[in-house]
Amino acid sequence: MTRIAAILALTLAAPAAFAQSMEITRAGDRAGQIGAAETFTGTAYVAPVFGPDMAGVSAGEVTFLPGARSAWHTHPAGQKLIVTAGTGWVQERGQPKQVMQAGDVVWCPPEVEHWHGATDATPVTHFAIQATVDGSAVNWGEHVSDAEYHGE
């Protein structure tokens, strides 16, 4: 009798457990765009992966062509970069720029000013993942100068 009651309880609870279903967004359906000149130097292609519908977290896939980079910026909750192809550079303000390559994961802590992008000779693609705090996921600063980009 106890087993029958347990099966009946699971059967009645099942519809609530399956009220939602998985959703697949196909790669070809994720429309992207060239990054805005106000926030990027050179050609950067930005394709949203998911919006802040997941507990305020969003992600974008960004491909930088050689010489392209973001402007200096910060993230109120920090940012993870997951490099998926190529070789690029990332730099924290006041520190030397560093190489990032496919397979690397970069953590940029909250409010740490930084930039990232391709090297001068190679493209790079990464997923950028960040959370929203008080309606903002990024605070943009000035462009990275050519001298800063080349480490002069």
CATH number at residue 68: 2.60.120.10
Tell me the helices (H) and strands (E) count for the chain, helix number first: 2, 12
**pLDDT of 1 strictly over 80:** no
Would 22 be classed as within a structural domain?
no
Would 10 be classed as within a structural domain?
no
Would 120 be classed as within a structural domain?
yes
The count of structural domains within the chain is: 1
Nearest to 90 by CA among 67, 117, 109: 117
Q: Give tens-digit pLDDT for 53-112.
A: 788 999 999 999 999 999 999 999 999 999 999 999 999 999 999 999 999 999 999 999
Q: Rounded to an integer, what distance in angstroms lies between the CA atom of residue 117 and that of residue 69?
A: 4
Of 8 and 49, the one with more pLDDT: 49
Question: For the range 30-34, what are the long-range contacts, defined as Cβ-Cβ under 8 Å and sequence gap of 24 or more?
Answer: 30/61, 32/61
Question: According to the model, what pLDDT value does residue 112 have?
Answer: 98
Do the Cβ atoms of 140 and 78 come closer than 8 Å?
Answer: no
Would 52 be classed as within a structural domain?
yes
Overall size of the chain counted in residues? 152
- Provide the pLDDT confidence category of residue 2 given band limits of 50, 70 and 90: low
Average pLDDT for 99-127: 98
Average pLDDT for 13-19: 56
| Domain boundaries, position 81 | 33-149
Of 126 and 28, the one with more pLDDT: 126
Would 3 be classed as within a structural domain?
no
Question: According to the model, what pLDDT value does residue 8 have?
Answer: 45
Nearest to 136 by CA among 90, 73, 83: 73
Average pLDDT for 129-151: 96
Instruction: Please provide the average confidence, as pLDDT, over all residues in the chain.
Output: 90
Would 140 be classed as within a structural domain?
yes
Would 5 be classed as within a structural domain?
no
Alpha helices (H) along the chain? 2-17, 146-149
Average pLDDT for 39-63: 93
Would 116 be classed as within a structural domain?
yes
Of 5-14, 84-93, 114-123, the range with the lowest mean pLDDT is 5-14
